[in-house]
Every structure is written in C-alpha cells, then in structure tokens.
Chains A and B, each alone.
Chain A
Amino acid sequence: SQTIHQWPATLVQPVGSPLSLECTVEGTSNPNLYWYRQAAGRGLQLLFYSVGIGQISSEVPQNLSASRPQDRQFILSSKKLLLSDSGFYLCACSTGGHGYTFGSGTRLTVV
C-alpha cells in the first residue's frame, strides 16, 4: 500500500514570503496526486491534481501553483503568501481507483 510523506508539519510564514510544500509517495508508481486545503468552515477544497509528470490541473484560481517534477513528487508553491492562504494543506494520492491515501498535512499560518 502507498505511503505519503508530507513536510513540514507546521509552518509560520509572513505575508509576502514564498512557500514550498513537498509531498512524496512510496509504494506505488504513476499515482494520481492531489493537493487539498482545509480552511475553517470550508471543508476539503481541491486545489490541484496531477495524473502524470508535468501534468497539473488547477481547480481554484489563486496565487498558488503546483508542480510535479518526478512521478512520485508533488510540490505546492507560492511566490507571495496572503493571509487567506492560511489553512491545513493535505497531499493525497490514488492509483486509479476511488479511494485516496492522505498525508499527515501541513498547518500553514500566514502572519
């Protein structure tokens, strides 16, 4: 079964600073990868998903971007963070079926 490594667990960043969150997957190849954000009262909001290297679909227009430089690596980035970017960021993977495996998440606080 697949395992997702996500880091860091918590992050406090000033407004206007850059962001890079990394997610790597073990135990599978060619997974579908996802970035979700859980914000207060908003549930799990899909931000980006990728079905292969270099293939990124964006669900919500915002100042975040995602990249998939390797098969099992998914990176969430921002050039300049906003206060509204605060939240709990989750990486997830699937292998074509319906179920997802989630990482342990990153709590981002923008101050």
Chain B
Amino acid sequence: DQQVKQNSPSLSVQEGRISILNCDYTNSMFDYFLWYKKYPAEGPTFLISISSIKDKNEDGRFTVFLNKSAKHLSLHIVPSQPGDSAVYFCAASEASGNTPLVFGKGTRLSVIA
C-alpha cells in the first residue's frame, strides 16, 4: 500500500509558465514533507521541505503548499525553466525523523523552450 502517491507520472510545461506537481499521502503520522529533484544517472538532491505546522514554504522560484486536512501537498515552480526538467520525488516522514523517508513514485517534468 503506497503511503505517498504521485499520481501524475509526467508533466509537460512551457518555459516561463507555472509547473504544479502534486502529492497525496495516507499516513496521518507524517508531519514533515520534502521534495527532491533527480536528473538521470544522478542521486536525488533536496529541493524544499515543509513542516506540518506550516501551510506554505517558499524558496525562490519554488513554493510548497500543504493541506493537512486533505493530506495533499503541491510544489509550484514559477517561472519554469528548461533546467527544471527532471524527475521530482515527494517524500514524507514522521515526527521523530528516525523512521526512513517514504517516497512517491516521482513525476517527470519536461519544460519546453
């Protein structure tokens, strides 16, 4: 049973427009959420995170929104750039941070120039 779901395997966006990547979770014990970005043949790199005490966290062009009641989070990239083309993984962890991160299956974002 998948606890972290990314239902869109791929997304195509034009350069300069907004990219919205979605993630849903089922485990109510999750209270810290992260987004990782992965290029082919490389390890994932941390992008942005959010704690459950917040509903929004912003870092430059990247904003993560959290809706706890809906168990849903989203990553917004504005404006999208060709270099943003990668696979984006949503991950979640429980309060203690001592249990392994649970990852979604990823969404492949293609930003078209």
Q: Could you list which residues of chain A lie within 8 angstroms of chain B, going by C-beta atoms? A: 4, 6, 9, 32, 34, 36, 41-44, 46, 49, 51, 59, 88, 90, 92, 94, 96-105, 107
Q: Is the CB of B100 within 8 A of A49?
A: yes
Does A96 contact B43, Cβ atoms closer than 8 Å? no
In the bound complex, what is the Cα–Cα distance between A43 and B9 (angstroms)?
A: 10
Q: A43-B89, A43-B106, A44-B106 are in contact. Are A102 and B44 (CB under 8 A)?
A: yes
Q: Which range holds the interface residue count of chain B?
A: 20 to 34
Within 8 Å of chain A (Cβ to Cβ): is B41? yes
Contact A96 B89 (CB under 8 A): no
For B97, the chain A residues whose CB sits under 8 A away are 94, 96-98
Closest A residue to B46 using CB positions: A99
A98 contacts B89, C-beta separation under 8 Å? no
CA distance A107 to B98 in the complex (A): 28
**Chain A min CB distance to B50 (Å):** 10
Q: Total contacts A to B, CB within 8 angstroms?
A: 59
27 A-B residue pairings within 8 Å (CB atoms): A4-B43, A36-B103, A41-B9, A43-B6, A43-B89, A43-B103, A44-B44, A44-B89, A44-B103, A46-B100, A46-B102, A49-B100, A59-B100, A90-B44, A94-B97, A96-B97, A96-B98, A98-B101, A99-B34, A99-B49, A100-B44, A100-B46, A102-B36, A102-B43, A102-B45, A104-B41, A104-B42
Q: Which residues from 71 to 104 on chain B have a C-beta closer than 8 Å to any C-beta of chain A? A: 89, 93, 97-98, 100-104
